[in-house]
Structure formats: structure tokens, C-alpha cells
Structure 1
């Protein structure tokens, strides 16, 4: 089957199902923190230059074999999310249904792939569509002999940290090494307290999900201005330092992530003020990982279990302002607001309260309030701590470029910061935003957001 785009064609050579080497059939329940994640997929892809040894057929065979062994450790990824009638809840059925594995060939050289516009080059081409199970994988051989590995996960089963842990382990097994970290699926470490107790402030962060009405802007979307598209940029370290300085002008140093979040929040508000969305609500949320927080103070064993926990351990604190307010605020004042709402979630008690809050609502679908309305809301996640460049070596060299990927069907605004593949102080930033906002960013913040290209990646 051939897939043709205006840039290059993809030919699907083979589709197989790879099963875990060993897997005991059982049900794995979701934790309370897993239940805060909506049912959507998120992907990652990794690009490599042509291996210096071996042919592609051998490489493909080795990858399938090592995947089977990796799935024996990460057995939920070889299962399915189904209703467990015995308990009346969706759970991961660890039945070794297997992972759909696609082998493809692309008529394009690595240096010709348009990474700046993943809707053109990645979506439906170098990234698999997950039709079954929890995980789908595609391995694509490029015209130059380079390789792209694309993985699509069901977010309900794994957050970015967990997905990164799996791919790192798969790479280590492919290199005939022992995985440096083994996953933990011990659900009891995230059990609620008895009796449950939590701060009422959580009712301002999460709520029971009710399908929203269609956004008002859909009637004004004739030119596709409010259609969500994907773009990838790099930000130079010098620009990050400059924004951090501006965000810290109130006398308190802000982190680069807080400064970046503040800058993006303001630029999006400015784009709204420059359009027909003046003085409307604009929210921004920052994903906070609770692993290190929940592991504090309960002994070394609990700390290790939390550090290797496979699943979702995230909270989504957020701030809300009208675009006109953000336009008039200094970057340092916005950064103070970002810092303050993030601080509510970077403590152990917040996550303990969140687990208890969900326990009393387990029978209902839940959602972060920032995404429960039709107003402009952007979720920002930091992947700069992920060891993409040095941990994803499958035996033929380091990653040339790696990124997350949001399927085109996702209706939420999402941004992820990633480490640069070439300069340690730079960032790569993936944005899934309305076309109108991205056009404004490119027109008014081109000094900050520079389209990713082959020259920057050095290929």
C-alpha cells in the first residue's frame, strides 16, 4: 500500500503483530492519577542516519526480537484497554494481544524531511495510526538508508516519562544490554488514604467532564484560521536567557520553563487581541510530574518505586486571564502568576489530595478545568529532562532528531519543550495550536521561534 504526499511517498511493506516474549494474562487497574487523562493518543518519533553496519532486513529482525523481549517487561503495552465487567471499570487487559508493527519505505532522504511542518511530513507517513491495543510502532527505511522509528501510545496507559522509559529500555535490549531501569506497576503505592481528605481548592483545578458545546469560533473558521496545526521550532539559548531575565525583573529569578510559559501566554493573548477574540479568556496549564514528590519521606523503597512507576503521575495547575489583561501585564508579572500557580502542585500533599479527590469520583469521567470549556487553553509540558539524544541508541548511533507528535484529530492546544539535538543550551519546541495563533507567533516572535530545518539539525 502506497501513501503519496506532495513531498514524498510511503510504501507499507508489511504489517505484523509483535507479542511479548512472556506475559501472564491478568487485568491491571488504572490508578486514580491515570483516570485524570482523557482517552487520546500521543506519539514520539526518532530519526537516525544510515547504520554503518548490517542491512535493513537484519536491523528490522533485531528490532522485532528486542521489542518482544521489551514487552515482556512492559507487558501492559502488549494489552488492550477494555471494560472489566467484574469491577465495572475500564482497565488494561494484559492479554498479550500484541503491538501492531509496521515496516515501511519512504521515498525521501532524511535531510529532505520537513520537520518544521509535521502535518506534511510525519502525520500519516512516518508515524503509525494506532487502531488497536495500547501501542503501535512503525519503522521506516528512508531513501538515504536512514531510519525513523515512530511510536503511538494510548495516553491513558503512559505519560511522557513512561513512554520515554520504555523506548530507552527497548533500545538498551536491542544493544544486548540490561535495561538501566525496570518499570514498576505496583498500583498500591498510589492508593488513596482512608479516610480520604483533600483541599477544596482542587475543585478549581479538576472537575467531572461534561462534553462542551462547539466553540463559538467554529462559525468563523471559513479560512481554517482556528484549525489546529502542528509546527516545530528551535529556540536559541541566548533568547531563552533573555526571556528569563525579563521574567525575573521583579527581583525573583524564574526558571526557563516559567519564563517561556509566560512569554507564550502573552504572545497568544496578543494574537487574540489582534483578532476578533479581544478580551476573551486565555488559560495556560503546566504539566507537573509527581514522581519525585510522592516518593519523598516514605523510605528508599517507596522512592525507587515512584521513580520507576509506569503510568500517569501528572497534575495540571493552570492560570486564567483575559487577553486584554495579559497584554497590559509585564512579562515579570505574568511570570510571577505562573510561578504561583505552579507552586500549588509541586508538593507531595497536592498529589496525595489529588488521589483522594479522584477516589470520591472514580465512576465519573474527569478533566482538568482548563480544558473543560471552549475558551482558549494551552497545555505546556516539559520534555527537556528526557535523555533523547543519549538513551535512544538502538546500536547504530545516536538520534539525529527526535520529537513528540500530536495526531491531527486532537482538539486540545498542546506545547512541548524538548532538548536540542545539536546545542545544549537551545530548545526544540513542538506546538499544536490554531493556525491564526501560529501565524501571529511567526510574524511577531520570529526572533524567538525559528523553524526547524536540516541545517540546524546538521544532516
Structure 2
């Protein structure tokens, strides 16, 4: 079956799902790490075959009902980002809820080119975080459920990254999924304690952190439009054998690297070789990692809700990345922990079963 270049999605209904019971309004403080996360919405989608024992109407009703109950375990996703007098944002847990959209697509689910998310997913299958028209602030969570012509269903969500990282969000998704199946939620009430992430006073920063920032300089205003390179976004799937082969190639001369380190080194080489970059130019390779395994040893609760991420990176000249073997590039992706936002975070290892899915965005 050929893959169509485009397809249509019609949103037929939008409503707001609120918590099952009234939530006492309160403010959730941002941590020092939350404040470093840019204002961006993260899209997550789940694909399902046509359900044979229930109707789409029943699926929608069940998802809305279970989402309403899930908000009771994590009220942050039903709140709003509100700007107060000095321009700073506050996360207000006020129970205003999240927009829930019902949509229909005019093709079969198997025809969607998921590997090209910008063309096939954004603006079609994932919802936007639309500012509250009543002046209650900006929502941080939205849901869209899309039915395809074959009966397949995509449940997609968008959440504001400033509120939570993927670990925290996955706890909420697990709670919601279990409630939708009438199973025990298996969910520990999230902890919103921020004391472990209070900045040092006086500050104590590693000198490496200075390489991650640059001074802001004021330039004369100009009407000249500076072109920006387009962002390319792709989703790749690599099977287990390919990952193991990359790891074997990287583990030369007695070195041992994780599967994620080996793949990151390979991706680094491919991106540099596929672009016209001067040989003398320094190129960075960054990997977003979860710092919980480190900070829990320092007193952070295992059920901490919020952002606990860092971005360690390697740097090398383009010509070295191109000509040196994979084992050399892999060596550049590891090393001593990087210091970022007051938290020391080691490079994460990769766990996999049948393969590895990678979402890569780059100019």
C-alpha cells in the first residue's frame, strides 16, 4: 500500500476535562532546573488497532472519565501557567482542566508516515496548548483522540516541558492508563518538594558551565531578515542486531561503551558527514539525560515531580569526527559527569528489548 503525501484530520469536538473532585487552589513553585527549560510543548502519541469489543464512543467516554480521575493524583496537569506582576511565571494548580479533542482522519492508520513527524503528525494528530480565553493563564496539558478510516486510534498528548520531564509525565500516563482499564493505579503520589534543588548560596559552579552560555550583546536595529536553517525532524527505528553491531565496533582497544553511547557516536558521525561543515569547525553532540539516579542518593524523593534533566555534551572538530573510527567518537560521548544547573548528572545508559527508537531534530 502506497504512503500518501498528505491526509486530512477534522476535529469535530473540543471540551475541557476537569478533575473528578474540587482541588484546593495552590501554587507549585518552579525549581532551579524547571527555569532552565525553554517554553516548548512536548508531543507524545500512542497508536492502537481497531477495538473489536467496544465502540469509539465508549473509548472516548472511558478516556475522559479516567483522565478526570487521574488529575486527582497529579493536579499539576490540570492547572495553568500564570504570569504575575514582575513577569515571572507561576504554576497554579487550580483544577481548570485540560482540553480534550475528538478528531477523524480520512486514511488508514498504516498509511501514516510516522518517520516524518513534521509533515505527518504536527498540526494533525497532536493538539496545541491554546491560551485560556477567560484569562486564567496558559494550559499545560492537552489531549486529542483521532479515529482513522480503518478503525485504528491515535491518542496524543501535548504537555508543557517547563512543568515536567518525561519521567514525571510517564508516571501520570501510567496512572491514567491503569484507571482506564479499571486496574490499581500502581502510582505513588508525586512529591513536589523543591528543597533538594534550591541553588547553592553562595554559588559553586564548575568552570565548564561557562562554555554553555554567551554574553548577550545589543546590536543596532535592522530590517534585514536573517535566514534560519530549517529544522529536520525524523523518527528512526533500529533493531537490536544493528545496535549490537554498533556497540561491537565502538568497543575496540579494550574500551567498553553502552549501546546509547555507541549509537550517539554513530549519529554524531552521520550528521557531520551529511552536512557541508568546515573541517576546523567545532561540533557538539548533546544527550538529554535523567539525573534522578544521582540525586536520589542526595535525598531527592524517588517520586519527585518536575524536571530533573541535564544536557552533557561532547565537542570535537568536524574533520576528526569524520576521519576517526567509531571508537574515537564514542570516547568523546562519555567522560566525567558534566555540571549543569547545580546538579551533577552522569551519562545515561540505554535499556532495550527488540530495538531502539530515536527521535532526532537538527538544523
Q: What SS is found at the alignment partner of 2:244?
A: helix
How far residue 353 of structure 1 moved from its aligned partner, in angstroms, is 3.4
How far residue 209 of structure 1 moved from its aligned partner, in angstroms, is 7.9
Q: 1:158/1:209 Cα in 2 relative to 1: closer, same or farther (>3 Å)?
A: farther
The CA deviation string for residues 283-333 of structure 1, in whole angstroms up to 9 with x for no partner, is: 1111221112111164xxx5xx2x221110011111122212212322212
Instruction: Count how many residue pairs are aligned between Structure 1 and Structure 2.
Output: 345
The CA deviation string for residues 11-59 of structure 1, in whole angstroms up to 9 with x for no partner, is: 1110001111232111111011111211111110000001121111111
Q: 1:62/1:249 Cα in 2 relative to 1: closer, same or farther (>3 Å)?
A: same
Q: What SS is found at the alignment partner of 2:343?
A: helix
How far residue 277 of structure 1 moved from its aligned partner, in angstroms, is 4.5
Aligned residue for 2:49?
Answer: 49
Q: Matches of 2:87 and 2:191 in 1, distance apart?
A: 21
Q: Matches of 2:349 and 2:52 in 1, distance apart?
A: 29
Aligned residue for 2:284?
Answer: 283
Q: Whose RCO is larger (CA < 8 A, sep 6+)?
A: 1
Aligned residue for 2:77?
Answer: 77
1:314 to 309, 312, 334: 309
Aligned residue for 2:8?
Answer: 9
Q: Matches of 2:349 and 2:60 in 1, distance apart?
A: 28
Q: Matches of 1:104 and 1:212 in 2, distance apart?
A: 46
Q: What SS is found at the alignment partner of 1:91?
A: strand
How far residue 105 of structure 1 moved from its aligned partner, in angstroms, is 0.9
The CA deviation string for residues 140-179 of structure 1, in whole angstroms up to 9 with x for no partner, is: 1111111101101111001111222211111011111222
Contact 2:45 2:154 in 1 (8 A): yes
Contact 1:183 1:310 in 2 (8 A): no
Aligned residue for 1:93?
Answer: 92
Q: Matches of 1:245 and 1:206 in 2, distance apart?
A: 32
Q: What SS is found at the alignment partner of 1:324?
A: helix
Q: Matches of 2:76 and 2:235 in 1, distance apart?
A: 31
Q: Matches of 1:212 and 1:232 in 2, distance apart?
A: 38
Q: What SS is found at the alignment partner of 1:136?
A: strand
**Stretch of structure 1 that moved more, 59-68 or 109-118:** 109-118
2:349 paired with 1:427: no
Q: What SS is found at the alignment partner of 2:297?
A: coil
How far residue 128 of structure 1 moved from its aligned partner, in angstroms, is 1.0
Q: What SS is found at the alignment partner of 2:322?
A: helix
Aligned residue for 2:134?
Answer: none
In structure 1, runs of 5+ residues without a counterpart are 356-380, 386-418, 435-459
Q: What SS is found at the alignment partner of 2:90?
A: strand
Q: What SS is found at the alignment partner of 1:267?
A: helix
Q: TM-score, normalised by structure 2?
A: 0.86
In structure 2, runs of 5+ residues without a counterpart are 132-138, 220-224
Q: Matches of 2:211 and 2:183 in 1, distance apart?
A: 43
The CA deviation string for residues 85-131 of structure 1, in whole angstroms up to 9 with x for no partner, is: 4x863120111221011100111112111112222221111111222
Q: Matches of 2:308 and 2:53 in 1, distance apart?
A: 40
Contact 1:82 1:91 in 2 (8 A): yes
Q: Matches of 1:352 and 1:294 in 2, distance apart?
A: 13
Q: 1:169/1:196 Cα in 2 relative to 1: closer, same or farther (>3 Å)?
A: farther
2:256 paired with 1:257: no
Q: Matches of 1:207 and 1:173 in 2, distance apart?
A: 44
How far residue 193 of structure 1 moved from its aligned partner, in angstroms, is 6.5
Q: How does 1:437-456 map to 2 (within 5 A)?
A: none
2:294 paired with 1:293: yes
Contact 1:20 1:69 in 2 (8 A): yes
Contact 2:209 2:340 in 1 (8 A): no
2:329 to 325, 334, 337: 334
Aligned residue for 1:233?
Answer: 236
Q: What SS is found at the alignment partner of 1:124?
A: coil
2:148 to 127, 142, 167: 142
Q: TM-score, normalised by structure 1?
A: 0.69
2:345 paired with 1:344: no
Q: 1:189/1:276 Cα in 2 relative to 1: closer, same or farther (>3 Å)?
A: closer
How far residue 7 of structure 1 moved from its aligned partner, in angstroms, is 3.0
Q: Matches of 1:234 and 1:119 in 2, distance apart?
A: 17
Q: Matches of 1:122 and 1:353 in 2, distance apart?
A: 36
Q: Matches of 1:263 and 1:91 in 2, distance apart?
A: 41
